[in-house]
Amino acid sequence: MHVKRPVIVTAIVTEGLKQEYQREIEESLRRVNESQQELESQSRRYMLQLPSAETANAFRRQVEEETRKHEAARKELKDRQEAITQLVLGERVTYLQLEGYVDLKEGDNLIDKLGRAEIVIKDGVVQEVKDGTGGPEEVSPSRVLIQRG
């Protein structure tokens, strides 16, 4: 039987990795700022078309809520930028999580079979594979975590 389990990809911090993270965050900040500008532009046009003060106030509250969400996203991204500057070269951080499959049969130790599988990379090149089972592994992409491990 094939059983799914998480496989953690750990990156060794290099200047290249720090620059990659910074580029991704800068792109996310750009998208948040563009979204906020579009929201402000559209809301000004829409406010002129609203039939009553009550409707306008309700709409204004919705716009304010969206603006707060944008501000929170910007703050989180700025915090991540700061955390990236604090990364120490050579340290290991969680880079990506994959899902891998392991064969399971009667008599296997479940804990050993589902143990932590890890792939260590440096500048995108695999440095080490820790399977946890002693056998080959089949992996498929899941989601990027971009956070300190």
Query: Which domain does 21 fall in, by range?
Result: 15-85
Shared-domain flag, residues 81 and 32: yes
Number of alpha carbons in the 13 Å side-chain half-sphere of residue 34 = 6
- Minimum mean pLDDT range among 6-15, 27-36, 63-72, 123-132: 123-132
Q: What's residue 11's pLDDT? A: 94
Shared-domain flag, residues 6 and 49: no
Nearest to residue 16, comparing CAs of 102, 89, 115? 89
List the structure tokens of 11: 């990156």
Q: What is the DSSP letter of 109?
A: -
Nearest to residue 5, comparing CAs of 126, 111, 107? 111
Share of the chain above pLDDT 90, in %: 55
Shared-domain flag, residues 30 and 61: yes
Shared-domain flag, residues 77 and 117: no
What sign for the dihedral angle of Cα 99, 92, 123, 85? positive
Please write the tens of the pLDDT for every residue from 41-82. Answer: 999 888 888 888 888 888 889 999 999 999 999 999 999 999
Nearest to residue 129, comparing CAs of 116, 142, 141? 116
Shared-domain flag, residues 60 and 115: no
**For the chain, how many structural domains are there in total?**
2
Please write the tens of the pLDDT for every residue from 106-132. Answer: 998 888 888 878 999 999 999 999 876
CA angle in degrees (0–180, nearest 5) for 122-127-130:
125
Query: Among residues 53, 85, 117, which one ends one of the domains?
Result: 85
pTM > 0.95: yes or no:
no
Shared-domain flag, residues 93 and 46: no
